[in-house]
Homo-oligomer: A and B are copies of this chain.
């Protein structure tokens, strides 16, 4: 997920690590300020893999910045990840949102639609947070307000997303 976010942000603009870090923190939900010890080694790995290019820009504001940009290979890698995301990116809320943030980079509406269809398929499968003997439990099966809240929030989210998905698919698939 982190790699996708790095690639996605750099597709638009050159950034330095510190800036990248703030943007990723905001995107993944203000929520999960990724550690220095995670980001900088990741950037080195990605540079070593030929996805990133690094350019030293001495003393702009404070310490010298390492301006990062995508190589041709890095751009291609981003597009591949967007076109054929791992199943986890379709099923996991956080990863799916990260993918959505950058799906516009995938230039072909048909390919964008195909990704949305995978999410649609996932969301329309029967699901529940709790099961008893193979039977899915519903909000009415609980008397505590917290699990009811869980269901209330999840249901509202799913309904909103399904509505958006269907509308957007109509716009992306002109005649079908």
Residues of A within 8 A of B (CB): 22-23, 26-27, 29-32, 88, 91-94, 97, 100-104, 112, 125, 127-131, 144-147, 149-150, 152-153, 156-157, 160-161, 164-165, 168, 171-172
Contacts and interface: CB of A to CB of B under 8 A. Distances in A.
Count this chain's copies in the assembly. Answer: 2
Given A92-B29, A129-B27, A104 B160 contact: no
Given A129-B27, A161-B153, A146 B104 contact: yes
Contacts of A91: 29-32
B144 A104 contact: yes
25 contacts: A23-B130, A26-B127, A26-B129, A26-B131, A29-B91, A29-B93, A30-B127, A31-B88, A31-B91, A31-B93, A32-B91, A32-B92, A93-B93, A94-B94, A100-B149, A101-B130, A101-B147, A103-B146, A104-B146, A112-B146, A149-B168, A153-B157, A156-B157, A156-B160, A157-B157
A131 B22 contact: yes
